[in-house]
Structure 1
Amino acid sequence: MVLPLELLQQFKASDFSDQQEYEAWRSRNLKVLEAGLLVHPLVPLDKSDNASQRLRQIIRGASEKPIETGKNSESMQVLRSAVMSLACRSPDRSASDFCHWADGFPLNLHLYQMLLETCFDASEDGSIIDEIDEVLELLKKTWVILGINQMLHNLCFTWVFFHRFVTTAQVDIDLLHAADNHMDEVAKDAKSTKDSVYSKILSSTLSSILGWAEKRLLAYHDTFNASNIEYMQSIVSLGVSAARILVEDISNEYRRRRREETDVARSRVDTYIRSSLRTAFAQVSSAELSD
């Protein structure tokens, strides 16, 4: 059974007292289907698979033309056909009567990140709710079910703060500070474990954060001005912290070398300064030539 699909088939708008609540519920279930079938499928997707392309189109189109949930609706029949085609595949690509549709642990992480989103006020862009401590205590009860531990929580929470900042117009500096502060816990965790699964997740997450930060820091004259200069310190700190963990605690090359030979923070900051100066100089030279 593909639970999100079954829920979408069993409930319709009239079962909810509030239209906004119904739309949020429908969106959450579609996101879970997307995560389990397209992002973290048990059986890897074939790029030429029509069912996966069809499901992507359905989910993408749902934001413009909402799916009418309920067992007998035409849109649900189309959705069910695409979902079941993907869910009932076996590792040898043959059809199966069983629906082992998602790769459990990655999906669990995805679900936990969605749960952490409840720490933010849905009616205000990015603001942290006052009851955050109580919510986190409740979420901790899901750890045993989802396979989460303190290290994974710290990493997920860092990502959620960072992602929330990025996706809410990058104006709430408190979110950036929170991500930067939680990165300190991630750094401690990275030094205390050699778990290969955690290291893989850590590397992927930090690489995304570092890539975002460096896109802004390698030409910081173009990124920062009088109106947003206060963000620069936290972005530098976040980027340097991510780089240091990736180099010092994940890189095999670093372990083979003497630690005193590498100062990650100094190296990264030096790179940002030199790159930005080169970019600024090139822009000035280009402007002078065009005059």
Structure 2
Amino acid sequence: TKSSFVPTLPALTRCTTGSKLGVFKRKEKLPMFQRKKSQVGIMNGGDSFGLSQLCIRMNTLHQICTELEILERRIISHLRNGEFTDMSALNGEEAKFELALASCHEGIQQLCEATAYKVVFCSLNHLLWEGLYVGEPASSRVEPLLRELEQNLELVASTVHTRVRVRALTALMKASFDGFLLVLLAGGPSRAFSRQDCQLIEEDFRLLKQLYLVDGDGLPQELIETAAILVTNILPLFHEETEDLVKRYKRTVAQVYGSSISKITLPPTPNNWSPSDPNTVLRVLCHRNDKAAIKFLKNTYGLPKKL
């Protein structure tokens, strides 16, 4: 499943203000993310199914669906043209493969999602987790990731059946959006952002969305914008003044827990990121490279600078 490929998030840390992360963090090979056992096997060559093989599996399930639908119609036609007397059964589930068809469609969807997350979080691991915005954000932007991702998109688009293509490409799009957001919110101490970096982050996300549009030959614009809503709701937090972020954090804590931040431990990681979620706002502060954010995190939670 897709959850098998999502990395374990690192512990929260605070930035080191004024440090040139790009000078030394790239050399240190920091243990940024703890991979799950399923990821370790894949990264070490334990995965026996590449992208092409997974696409063929999608096609196989789609072909099974098609053949079941044909067989279903033939059975019903023969029964109606024969001496079958209980015609009421033909209108019920007895004469159909509803459960089998539903299982095939669910299998296709799960396979699309698992394949997408494998591509984003394993095949492109060196460009996403180990590359994007590590050190100085301006010198480690999204272009290398886009080039590799485009090659994977082309392979999927040219391999899967046309009736499966939209589902497969949509799954890849959502996985890459999730990966982009995880880098921003759970990127570890090797990533730090100033308010000025927000503009380049927004530009990079625009380029990522544009990759799926492909001059009108890709996914529909409306579908892309719908999938991007979560990221577009979070990005304005990176543009907020640190003082306003701290106020927002205190306000969300009070709304969710009904108490001040001095009376609670670190808020738990949510199932879905949100500007109104305390943990999400706190993670933006953890990656904010200025003295006010660092002082707040140190005084409030005593967060370390390193993992």
Regarding TM over 0.5, the answer is: no
Greater C-alpha Rg: 2
Larger RCO, structures 1/2 (Cα 8 Å, 6+ apart) = 2
Q: TM-score, normalised by structure 1?
A: 0.32
